[in-house]
Amino acid sequence: DQQVKQNSPSLSVQEGRISILNCDYTNSMFDYFLWYKKYPAEGPTFLISISSIKDKNEDGRFTVFLNKSAKHLSLHIVPSQPGDSAVYFCAASVTGNQFYFGTGTSLTVIP
């Protein structure tokens, strides 16, 4: 049972434009959400997170939005850069003991 879903396997965006990556979840008990970025042949690296008590968290070019009623979160990257091309995973956790990951969205930023 996939509790965290990323329904878009891939996304292409022009350099300088906004990239929006989406993630849906089913478990209302999730209290922490994270985004990870993964390059080929490397492990995922942490990008940004948000607690369930917030609806927005911003870190430089990256902003995560959480809509609890819709059980939906999104990652906005503005402006997108070629170096942002990678696979992005969203993850959710209950109390930090078990993390559920989506299947990833491969982002390509076209120069």
Interacting residues toward other proteins by CB under 8 A: 2, 4, 6, 32, 34, 36, 41-46, 49, 89, 91, 93, 96-104
DSSP for 59-70 reads ETTEEEEEETTT
Strand arrangement, sheet containing 56-59: 4-5, 19-25, 72-77, 62-67, 56-59
Which residue type does 91 have?
A: A
Query: Nearest distance from residue 59's CB to other proteins, in Å?
Result: 12
d(CA 88, CA 44): 9
Per-residue DSSP letter, 84:
G
Whichever of 43 and 83 has its CB closer to other proteins, that residue is: 43
Query: Nearest distance from residue 72's CB to other proteins, in Å?
Result: 17
Query: Nearest distance from residue 77's CB to other proteins, in Å?
Result: 19
Whichever of 63 and 93 has its CB closer to other proteins, that residue is: 93
Query: Nearest distance from residue 8's CB to other proteins, in Å?
Result: 13
In the numeric block, the tokens 């979160």 are attached to 73
Whichever of 79 and 103 has its CB closer to other proteins, that residue is: 103
